[in-house]
Structure 1
Amino acid sequence: MSQRPTLLVTGADLAPQALALLGDFNVLFAGKTPTEDDVVALCRQHDPVAIIVRYSKVGAAAMDAAPSLRVISKHGSGTDTIDKVAAQARGIRVVAAVGANAAAVAEQALALLLACAKSVVTLDQRMHAGHWDKSTHKSIELDGRTVGVVGLGAIGLRFARMAHAMGMRVLGFDPYAQQLPDFIQSVDLDTLWRESDAISLHCPLTADNARLINASTLAACKPGVIIVNTARGGLIDEAALLDAVRSGQVGGAGLDSFAVEPMSAPHPFHGEARIVLSPHIGGVTADAYVKMGVAAAQNALAVLNHG
């Protein structure tokens, strides 16, 4: 039996560069798709001092099953799968690898925006089927258009910079953001809905902003607006979005996150030509995997070593 303290990873692997930092710990992997019950059982059996969260939720039951637990470190920036209220009540620190996947996710958001504006997927499918739509198809030019960015953390700011570089006017909403670059016009949400030709979500999911994109807010948008979500699926009322796509109120949607993940099959979005889908891989690149793993390990060690 190892005398080293245990660090639990709620996943099957961690970047070698991150593991190299954790030599003083018995690193335990929960597997590819651990359930919440799996995590609780492993906590009860091994009493970890730290958990690096990749997949699954970590709630009060897991915390109570691990009396030695001092820190829960997210392998990424979104901590909505961790019960932060329960952690605070038990004196357990919750930390996140903020910014480690910023480039990866911002690039995915831009790719989805471009895919929608330029009908990339539809035209590709038509070409492969032997069609040549040059005389009938018109794409959307983004230069000079307005993009609304909801959430101006590391990812939102990076996306905003890229949109600005393409000649877009950038509106931003983030009540917590300070010292924004001068190319971002800070506005309230009503203004953002009303004036944006495209909207990209980059905010964390909270009880206050669940279903931020809904029938009412979509109706307030410009006809033909493009919606991009690389943040959290719970920010969108999916039934309302589908209705708005079908009516033409939403010209296209590029989605990398969903209310229920993995996405169920069949799903109402399946087969919708103007909805471009990716399986929550915005932050999944070889580079981000290393950056997030190292940051998660360093963040856990910072708490364990210094409190």
Structure 2
Amino acid sequence: MSHPVVVITDTEELDPGPAVRLLSAAGFEVRVVGSRAPDAIAAAARDADALIVGYARIDAALFDRMPRVRMIATMSAGHDMIDTDEAARRGIWVANLPHAATEDVAVHALAQALALVRRLPQADAVVRSGGWSQDLADVPRRAGELTLGVLGLGRIARVLTRIAGPVFGRIVAHDPHAADWPDGVERVDLDTLLARADVLSLHVPSTPGTRGMVDAGLLARMRPGSLLVNVSRGDLVDPDALLAALDEGRLAGAALDVFPVEPPADDDRLRSHPRLLLSPHSAFLSDASLRAYVTEPARNVIAWWTDGRPHTPVVVPSGPTATASA
């Protein structure tokens, strides 16, 4: 009897070795393509039962070239690289990776917020230039007297509110879609959130309704001298409006882990503005998350093959083609 075949498309900087070992031990033949190119994927997956996908685009044309595929596992929480409507129509499962870096991203958001509050980049620059505490331009504010505002209350934001609760004086949040509400977090409308937050942390997905939402109008409604943190999606923030708010002093600072274009161009003012704290889309990074990004998709494929259902499905097809052929 032939082994089921799983193809790993693109892994970027991740090591596919742990996934290969897990899948091989479960009886799979594993092929690592190491590319997003449709022709390379189609050649490797012509007889594949399942795919593990990084950023490669899997659309109807590619599905046509992989007629046996019945399961796709993404190496991320996002699954917009997969044509999920087409997958459902063809009876193909799609599973994502919702929890691999939840704690890491929440901790990164808190770390960036506190670095802004305590003015750590400025303090670092003073010491490196030969100065000392008397040379600090501004005295940091006490976090326990400040309000943390959270826009969007998904899984990462909920962890953030839990770990930030003992640090900040108050936490307020706005999310019209949240079904339940965590203890210790005050539910407010958007205008109240913007008016009260000393630090505003963004935690909303990129959709047609949210792209560019942090524009000049929204920034003007924020509390004067407040701080902005974005570990969510780069296209939520209008960069020109952000730079203008920083130049004019309406915002005291901002921390960005994500950008409209990644990486930013060398001459992009986002790279050089003194009131910006930057990280290279690394909020998700940890030794634990890097392991999970490859092992958990493999476990999704194994669960689908052995039990008929992956652990974290986002497309649940119906009909006989939806099941594994074991």
Which TM class, normalised by the smaller chain length?
A: 0.7 to 0.9
The one-letter code matched in structure 1 to 2:164 is A
Q: Distance in 2 between matches of 1:192 and 1:141?
A: 20
| Number of the residue aligned with 1:41 | 39
Aligned residue pair count? 301
User: How far off is 1:280 after superposition?
Assistant: 0.7
Structure 1 window deviating more from structure 2 (43-52 vs 216-225): it is: 43-52
User: How far off is 1:127 after superposition?
Assistant: 1.0
Q: TM-score, normalised by structure 2?
A: 0.83
User: How far off is 1:253 after superposition?
Assistant: 1.0
| Number of the residue aligned with 1:295 | 296
Structure 1 window deviating more from structure 2 (179-188 vs 224-233): it is: 179-188
Q: Distance in 2 between matches of 1:111 and 1:57?
A: 33
| Number of the residue aligned with 1:238 | 239
The one-letter code matched in structure 2 to 1:122 is Q
The one-letter code matched in structure 2 to 1:26 is E
**Gap runs ≥5 in structure 2:** 309-322
Q: Does 1:28 align with 2:26?
A: no
| Number of the residue aligned with 2:256 | 255
Largest Rg, 1 or 2 = 2
Contact 2:204 2:232 in 1 (8 A): yes
Contact 2:229 2:254 in 1 (8 A): yes
The one-letter code matched in structure 2 to 1:42 is A
Q: Distance in 1 between matches of 2:190 and 2:123?
A: 33
Q: Distance in 1 between matches of 2:230 and 2:283?
A: 10
| Number of the residue aligned with 2:313 | none
| Number of the residue aligned with 2:98 | 98
Contact 1:80 1:205 in 2 (8 A): no
Q: Does 1:52 align with 2:52?
A: yes
When residues 216 and 88 of structure 1 are mapped into structure 2, their CA distance, relative to the original with a 3 A threshold, is farther
Identity %: 32
Q: Distance in 2 between matches of 1:90 and 1:291?
A: 28
**Gap runs ≥5 in structure 1:** none
When residues 59 and 192 of structure 1 are mapped into structure 2, their CA distance, relative to the original with a 3 A threshold, is farther
The one-letter code matched in structure 2 to 1:108 is H
When residues 45 and 242 of structure 1 are mapped into structure 2, their CA distance, relative to the original with a 3 A threshold, is same
| Number of the residue aligned with 1:11 | 11
Q: What pairs with 1:121-200 in structure 2 (closer than 5 Å)? A: 121-134=121-134, 136=136, 137-200=138-201
User: How far off is 1:304 after superposition?
Assistant: 4.1
Over the aligned positions, Cα root-mean-square deviation in angstroms equals 2.4
Alpha-carbon deviations, 1:107-150, whole Å to 9, x = none? 11111111211221222122112112435431132213111212
Q: TM-score, normalised by structure 1?
A: 0.88
